Amino acid sequence: MGRSPGRRRAGTALAAAALVALAALVLGSARPEAAPAHGIAMHGQPKYAPGFAHLDYVNPDAPKGGEMRRASTGTFDNLNPFIIKGVVAHGRHLIFESLLKRTWDEPFSLYGLIAESIDVPDDRSSIAFTLRPQARFHDGSPITVDDVIFSWETLKEQGRPNHRLYYNKVVEIERPDARTVRFVFDAEEPDRELPLILGLMPILSKAYYSSVTFDETTLTPPLGSGPYRIEHVDAGRGIVYRRDPDYWGRDLPINRGQHNIDRISYDYYRDDEVMLEAFRAGEYDLRLERSATRWATGYDFPAVEDGRVRLEQLPHGRPSGMFALAYNTRRPVFAERAVRYALSLAFDFEWINKALLQGAYVRTNAIFDNSELGFGGLPEGGELALLEPHRDRLPPELFDTPYHAPAVEGGLRKNLAQARRLLAEAGWRVEDGVLRREADGLPLAFEILLVNPGNEKIALAFARNLERLGVQAKVRTVDTAQYQYRRNVYDFDMLIYRWGMSLSPGNEQAFYWGADAADQEGTRNYPGIRDPAVDDLIARMTQARERGDFADAVRAMDRVLMWGHYLVPLYHLNDDRYAYWEKFGRPEAIPVYGTVLDTWWVDPEKADALDR
């Protein structure tokens, strides 16, 4: 029996509604994923196409074997690199792995490692990782979705402050199938870097940490999944890694031509001068020399002259980063910008470079010097547009005066006279040879905290000049453990620190300069910066879709930081200086970030010649 026209119309309406609901589910609620991809770039497309054989800066036929002995100053008491407690031994990247792996000939691109593919929608509101079935921890257990979720949960709750900062931006986790996990981000706070940050998350074994306390220091070798295992630990003095011949990822294109050396060790020395003497005696094989003075005067020994030790200056295109004296603005004496600027006028880079540094260094004028992201002149175009909303709270000079770190021209006396005027205007007067704040008699006295004795001459030269202003600056060098602890809890007045930078800065900038990081222990916001303009510009960096817009945000942030005078910029080199015993081979191609030691190998003939 047929239905009445009314019932037919009602049925048709219900069917149409069902179709609309289904369409909404498919097109709206379901997240539109792109086809599974082999990699992802922060901006644009990854350099390497699907199916690439190996990276351009490796030798895919590099021989395996041999030993590389390295060295470091200080000590260590921890093999867990994911907590702020203790001093961690070098070599984390040798045993722990992430879902994706970075290349060093692109600003910021990642390719599948533990994950064989990724799915990312155009708005980057989520990322899904499909795990490789062959991925294994060192005990032979497979790396599973459970391990990925456990890693995220553990690092979010108990990890280092940067991990907690990043991973708390995940609002939902989904498990589409047994080998896939999807992280969903807050749509109200778009951040195009988050998918890459999740790709770099270290993956921990859930089973292993079911019986091991995660948030405690340890000298027991932890379970990893990387190309090396810890072979031996001499607490505080040395650590040895052994290449795993059964490493599950040894044949992946992203790894080909890398991890060539069988044994890598790190020995620890009291200071850099002792460490250099050990190198001269052949106690270890390779050092990256950061001191121009030592480069010019410390390598005149017979092994260099007869060719057994090789010295190379290798070019790179990395940003300079910031090597600086950092004011701790949490201290009352450094609360005022004018005071910080006045004190910076007493730093005589020109004399220090000539008298102490062999004239080899370039003065750092911005965090991203030596790169396409560095600023110059006055802000204009997109950069100026980003700065305009903050004009009222920014120094007027930022908009009408090109920034340069204070220079000494024609002698220091002129700089000191300007410093005295600025300090007087800020309410400071000299009484009995001591500079004091008129309001309460507070003396302008502070300590410069160091860990590297090699920086003492620099700090002492600055302190001597400050004394001429009535400022009492003392220099104190402490051991590695004390230095790290005092840094973590911001128990210092001023310190010397080096912030390294990439060509694709992002969320880590909030960890370095953001207001939220200023009050969290263990961040790198050592100056204690709390500036809404900086926070806004960091957010715009992570939201930018186009490289040009991104560069404008980076330059604007850099400019705001420099005009805030939170730092006294020091200096940098535009190349890397390696000294090594002539037993290694390396690829001819050097990527933009500089030579990659993981691509070096031991040349058997050279090693034999050295042994003879």
Distance, in Å, from the CA atom of 275 to the CA atom of 253, rounded to the nearest integer, reads 37
Backbone φ and ψ for 118, nearest 5 degrees, come out as: -135, 155
Distance, in Å, from the CA atom of 219 to the CA atom of 436, rounded to the nearest integer, reads 49
Percent of the chain with pLDDT over 70: 94
Distance, in Å, from the CA atom of 245 to the CA atom of 259, rounded to the nearest integer, reads 10
* Residues 203-258: tens digit of each pLDDT: 999 999 999 999 999 999 999 999 999 999 999 999 999 999 999 999 999 999 99
For residue 24, the model assigns a pLDDT of 36
Cα–Cα distances (Å) from 169 to 150, 166, 199, 529, 593, in that order, read 16, 6, 14, 22, 29
Distance, in Å, from the CA atom of 490 to the CA atom of 483, rounded to the nearest integer, reads 10
Strand-strand pairing, 67-73 and 263-269: parallel
Q: Which domains does the chain have, with CATH numbers?
A: 39-59+77-210 (3.40.190.10), 247-258+270-317+574-611 (3.40.190), 322-572 (3.10.105.10)
For residue 293, the model assigns a pLDDT of 82
Is the pLDDT at 5 greater than 50? The verdict is no
* pLDDT mean over 498-503: 94
* Residues 367-395: tens digit of each pLDDT: 999 898 999 999 999 999 999 999 999 99
* pLDDT mean over 451-479: 96
Question: What amino acid occupies position 569?
Answer: P
Evaluate whether 181 touches 174 at the Cβ level (below 8 Å): yes
Strand-strand pairing, 472-477 and 445-450: parallel
Is the pLDDT at 3 greater than 60? The verdict is no
For residue 17, the model assigns a pLDDT of 39
Model pTM score: 0.79
- The whole-angstrom distance between residue 523's C-alpha and the CA centroid of its chain comes to 12
HSE-CB of 312 using CA atoms within 13 angstroms? 19
H/E run at residue 477? strand 472-477
Strand-strand pairing, 228-234 and 180-185: unpaired
* Residues 551-585: tens digit of each pLDDT: 999 999 999 999 999 999 999 988 999 999 999 99
* Residues 417-435: tens digit of each pLDDT: 999 999 999 999 999 999 9
Q: Which of 295, 349, 346 is nearest to 466 (CA)?
A: 346
Evaluate whether 252 touches 97 at the Cβ level (below 8 Å): no
* pLDDT mean over 91-120: 97
DSSP state of 124: -
DSSP string, 571-610: EE-SEEEEEEES-EE--S---TT---GGG-EE-HHHHHHH
Band the pLDDT of 612: cuts 50, 70, 90: confident
Is the pLDDT at 304 greater than 80? The verdict is yes
CB atoms within 10 A of CB 328: 19
For residue 11, the model assigns a pLDDT of 41
Is the pLDDT at 290 greater than 90? The verdict is no
Percent of the chain with pLDDT over 90: 85
Distance, in Å, from the CA atom of 518 to the CA atom of 273, rounded to the nearest integer, reads 34
Band the pLDDT of 34: cuts 50, 70, 90: low
Is the pLDDT at 489 greater than 50? The verdict is yes
Cα–Cα distances (Å) from 440 to 435, 447, 469, 473, 537, in that order, read 12, 20, 19, 20, 37
For residue 190, the model assigns a pLDDT of 83
For residue 166, the model assigns a pLDDT of 87
Average pLDDT, the chain: 92
- Of 179-183, 289-293, 603-607, the range with the lowest mean pLDDT is 289-293
Distance, in Å, from the CA atom of 361 to the CA atom of 223, rounded to the nearest integer, reads 42
Backbone φ and ψ for 32, nearest 5 degrees, come out as: -70, 105
DSSP state of 141: P
For residue 411, the model assigns a pLDDT of 87
Distance, in Å, from the CA atom of 91 to the CA atom of 563, rounded to the nearest integer, reads 37
* pLDDT mean over 147-168: 93
* pLDDT mean over 525-545: 95
* Residues 169-180: tens digit of each pLDDT: 999 999 999 999
> Could you tell me how many helices (H) and strands (E) the chain has, helices first?
20, 25
For residue 1, the model assigns a pLDDT of 37
